[in-house]
Amino acid sequence: MSETENLVESSKGYGSTQSSTAITTPPCCSPKDGTCSNASPGSKKRSRNAAGILEWLGNLFETENDRVAACCATGSCIYLKKETTTTASSITAATVPKTIVVRSTFHCKGICCSSEVPEVTDILEALDGISSVRINVPLKQILVDHDVAKITAKDIAKELDDELFPSTVQRDGGADAAAAAATAKPKATQIVRSSFRSGGICCASEARIIREILQKLDGIAKIAVNPSLKQVLVDHDPIVLGASVIAQTLTDEDFPTVITEDGSAARERQHRTTQTSGGSGSKGRSKFQILSGICCASEIPVVKGILEPKDGIDGVMVHMSTKIAYVDHDTDIISAETIANTLTDGGFETKIQHDFSKDKQAVSSFVLSKFSIAPTDSKTMVSDLKAHLGTYEKNIVESYQVVKKSMVVDILHNPLLASAESLRLSILEGTQLQITVEEDGNDGKLWEFAASNALESKDEDEAVEDEDSGVGLRPASAICGVLWIVSMLSNLGGNWKILSYWGLLSVGFGMPPIAKKAYKTARRGNIDTNVLMSLAILGAVFLGQYDEAAAVTFLFSLSEWLEDKATRRANVALKAIVHLKPETANLIHPKTHDLILVPATVVPVGALVAVKTGDKIPCDGVVVEGTSTVDESSLTGESRPVLKTLKNEVSGGTLNNGNTQLVLKTTRTSDDSAVSRLIRLVEEAQANRSETEKIVDSFAKVYTPVVVFSALAMCTLSWLWGSAVGREWTARGLSLVVIACPCALVISTPISYVAGLAATAQNGILVKGGAYLEALGQVKHVCFDKTGTLTAGDFRLIKLIVAQPERRTEILQYLALMEARATHPLAQSLVDGIQAEGVSIPKTLRIQDHTFLPGEGVKAIVQDKDVFVGNERLFRRLDQWKTLPTDLKDQVASWEAMGGTIGFLSIQGEGIVCAYCVADAPRPETKGTLNHLKEMGLTVTMLTGDKRDTALAIGKTIGLEDSSIRSELLPEEKLAFVQDLKSHEAVSNPLLALFVSEPRLVLMCGDGVNDAPSLAASDIGVAMGAGAALAMETADVTLMDSHLTKLLYSINMGRKVIQTIRQNVVFSILVKIIVLGLTLTGRVGLWTAIGSDVGSMILVTLNGMSLLPGKTKNESGETGLDAV
């Protein structure tokens, strides 16, 4: 970004460059003198204790986008300044080559308060060459944008000195510009992340002040503050601003700060590592189970705050309900073991569930072969070779280099898909060039595959599962419960009262793990459930209510075990998805042809794999031998056998359940297979938090401290009215502390998402996160693409006529050549129909510049002639429609009633020479699905580029009214229609919308590629999984088997999720209100409060789990989860 762009972009917020000279102040400050209405009378310097409780509570709702003006404790605004004018002439001048506008930074000791800002501004603006002046009073810093050709940084400092504002140059922008010019090579901005520990941070309200201090510094890109860890993360340009300067700036502002990680040093270390290893390191994703320390969503930022500053960490995702953390990291810098230890040291006991570094990586199947070119007179040799080799896909020929001087061509290719000899023959046929194989890279290729330790891995996984399933109530907790029950007998009175002391023993057994967690949480400056329960237990002991203290201790210890039991079905469902990925493969060795058992992850693209009966298919591939049935329920949710034979595609993770062995040629590695992408995206969906979830968390952040402060007031102020009153109200206050725990409310939303996402995934539907589940339940309008969505996309060529029958073979060759490179579903039907006539594409027919024309067709240059294939709209635009012979036009008119797609082919100088019609039948389930959608009160519309008559013919067969059909639409017109439907206003509070808002959202269902703009513009985009390889990556929802009934299931699940969230939220709040009222009136005791808290949390969890499909037994007798 240029300096001029910086000037324009930075004109936002307080203290920015505006187009007037008026003084800009925050709303709380007087525009006349900057007097702050919120400042305390008589205060001198900024005091972190000046903010009131209400301001502190307000800060809890602050987001990254909040920019609340801070007030000087002196009573005047720190932002007060006279704005300068960035005129059009100054910006234009900055773009003139001889004019260089730069930014210099000065430290001015003479600035003592904001009242001197206008004076300094007037001094500098009067100087020739000054474009902009910005002043930061707390830092005594002046930022000046100036033309170095007219005035230098030293000149500016001298002018300030002469005016009794002694200043020193911190950064000379002119010197930096000169250095850049000397190198004649602009230096790219290198943003790094540095982390700091600031001892001056005491609460969340300090985060805003830290940001305000640092945002004034030049070179800052992003600031994140974690008050609980007293941690500041800063993304900055180390060339402009070093980490030491950042630390010193905060220290000078009464925030003593030390550097915990210097980003520039970390980058240098990583660079050295890369140089040494010759690569970018071993990067991947590991999975961790957080055993303890995480109880609610407020812990997620703490976990991220512990890991993200570490060098080598690329990303952290935490899912609260399952207590799983996914960490993307570089094992050359930080190992999975180190990550687990770091979390454990931070108070989150963690174990490794999956260390990606132990995965075997796929063997590279590419080799480098060298070819010599025989002498030739061809002047286009190089371009011909490049054009021919460019027709290969990247998984066959990755790269090539033609050296004309030495008449050599080097080709990096996959010998499993194209051998050196086959490349030689292909080049000879395609270019008529004689070449010789000098070095066959496959001859020296050592195909070494790691031996499979699948049995050991399976045993380890089973051991982990047994360990997880064996988690029971801790012995100490069980003893705690028995002692509590004994202590309850003291309520019988008389001699039984002595048994109340057994409650102390109960506390002694159950309290240590609670107190340990509470201490670590409180040490971070947070309040969580452990802290609240510890306060309640200690308070009850202080009052002598030992049985009550024992009740809180035991019931809270019991809650963790009960919650684990309640969520076990969700964890089992998610683990079942993860275990879909095959572990081994029977690889046919590329040279010896022996059958060897290897880890599925090492199988390269193009290898031959044998899949025996009952085995999982290890990778996506194509059948080259055998005919059998495959169970695709792992991806589609449908347990029905699908016949697979020669040239059929199969997906990794599916099961060969037929009676015949299949031999496949792999088209993707195991890690890139459909099931691997499914697993990866399901994991990410679990960690994506919706706006509703965030709002609930924000409410809990306010609710908890308010109730805690109220309870503390009851426990302390009540003693002013005497001992009896004090004891009574302290007991009520302790019950209030327990009620302050928001666990049931906080978990009410994510637990519903977990179950809903697991249920849809098991049914062959991939939903990207809880927010999209909510959106599915609020859909009002459903738009469908026709081809490949409402229809099967299985085109058949039913009519093909040419203007000159004697040239039929030649014209069909042109048409086949054009469509062989097209991506539309009907293209293959044309190629197949032409081949059925015995016509093949000659190698001498050369094609160039093949281009897709959205909504119209394709164009290319064939034999130096422009060739077009497409619909009527294309040829009317080209003004070639009039070249269509009359007899062909009459026949084409009769085809429109067939409901097929009609197209034409033209050749430069000849006009339209061919017309064809391809038919695509509707899916069997389309009509029933559309009827169900309409019965649910949804509006249904079909969007197509076909002509009106064709669209009406299809619409009639699937039960759509004429008003629900939009035809002859270009992609941009489909986009405009979707945007028109989205005329509803955005909801400011998603949680409130779940209760009061009517369905209003727009859903677009398409193939994931041709409808990309419409899918992106809609509120929720649904892609047919079989339509495109990237559908899962781009859409909000993907129907894995492209079965439209899954769309009904998705919308119904969305509605159930919304209903469950409503029930959970209302129930959680009602329980709190009822128990709160009973507590304040003295009708319930401490054990009732903890019982209601634990009970509501368990009931909310069980209600969320009800979204999971029920358990059924399959034919083999194994228990599974039925996809409802």
**Better-scored residue on pLDDT, 640 or 653:** 653
Residues identified as active-site: 785
Contact 240, 231 (CB under 8 A): no
Segment 924-943 mean pLDDT: 90
d(CA 333, CA 279): 13
Q: Where do we find the tokens 């781009």?
A: 1034
Segment 689-705 mean pLDDT: 71
**Better-scored residue on pLDDT, 823 or 270:** 823
Cβ neighbours of residue 774 closer than 8 Å, sequence gap 6 or more: 690, 692, 990, 994, 1054, 1057, 1058, 1061
Output 712-716 pairs: Cβ under 8 A, ≥24 positions apart: 715/539
User: Which of helix, strand or coil describes residue 610?
Assistant: strand
**Better-scored residue on pLDDT, 319 or 232:** 232
Do the strands 765-767 and 965-966 form a parallel or antiparallel pair, or are they unpaired?
Answer: unpaired
Segment 335-339 mean pLDDT: 88
**What is the average pLDDT score of the chain?**
74
Segment 549-566 mean pLDDT: 74
Segment 597-613 mean pLDDT: 85
User: Which of helix, strand or coil describes residue 1021?
Assistant: strand
Give the number of other CB atoms < 10 A from CB of residue 1111. 11
Q: 148-157, 249-258, 878-887, 1041-1050: which range is least confident on average? A: 249-258
Segment 781-800 mean pLDDT: 84
Segment 200-229 mean pLDDT: 71
Give the number of other CB atoms < 10 A from CB of residue 625. 14
Contact 1004, 1011 (CB under 8 A): yes
Q: Where do we find the tokens 């572990």?
A: 583
pLDDT beyond 90 at 1077: no
Which letter, b or e, does each residue of 95-133 get, where b requires 16 or more Cβ atoms within 10 Å of its Cβ? eeeeebbbbbbbbbeebeebeebeebbebbeeeebbbbb
Do the strands 621-625 and 367-373 form a parallel or antiparallel pair, or are they unpaired?
Answer: unpaired
Which letter, b or e, does each residue of 1032-1058 get, where b requires 16 or more Cβ atoms within 10 Å of its Cβ? beebbbbbbbbbbbbbbbbbebbbbbb
User: Which of helix, strand or coil describes residue 86?
Assistant: coil
**Better-scored residue on pLDDT, 1037 or 746:** 1037
Give the number of other CB atoms < 10 A from CB of residue 543. 18
Model confidence over 235-248: pLDDT tens digits?
A: 888 777 878 788 88
pLDDT of residue 242: 79
pLDDT beyond 60 at 935: yes
The pTM of the full predicted model, rounded to 2 decimals, is 0.57
Segment 197-211 mean pLDDT: 66
Model confidence over 709-733: pLDDT tens digits?
A: 888 888 888 888 888 888 888 888 8
| CA-based nearest residue to 969, from 983, 957, 951 | 951
Model confidence over 1094-1107: pLDDT tens digits?
A: 788 788 888 888 88
Model confidence over 374-432: pLDDT tens digits?
A: 988 888 888 888 888 888 877 788 778 787 878 888 888 888 888 888 899 888 888 88
Q: 313-327, 362-376, 828-842, 902-916: which range is least confident on average? A: 313-327
pLDDT beyond 70 at 1005: yes
Model confidence over 19-71: pLDDT tens digits?
A: 333 333 444 444 444 444 444 333 333 333 433 444 444 444 333 333 333 33
pLDDT beyond 80 at 352: yes
pLDDT of residue 1052: 93
Model confidence over 132-189: pLDDT tens digits?
A: 787 766 567 788 888 888 888 888 888 888 877 888 887 777 765 555 454 433 434 5
pLDDT beyond 70 at 77: no
pLDDT of residue 233: 80
Q: Where do we find the tokens 């452990």?
A: 530
Segment 952-975 mean pLDDT: 86
Q: 39-48, 118-127, 748-757, 792-801: which range is least confident on average? A: 39-48
H/E run at residue 90: helix 88-95
- For the chain, how far is it from start to end, CA to CA, in angstroms? 54
Model confidence over 862-877: pLDDT tens digits?
A: 888 999 999 888 998 9
Give the number of other CB atoms < 10 A from CB of residue 286. 23
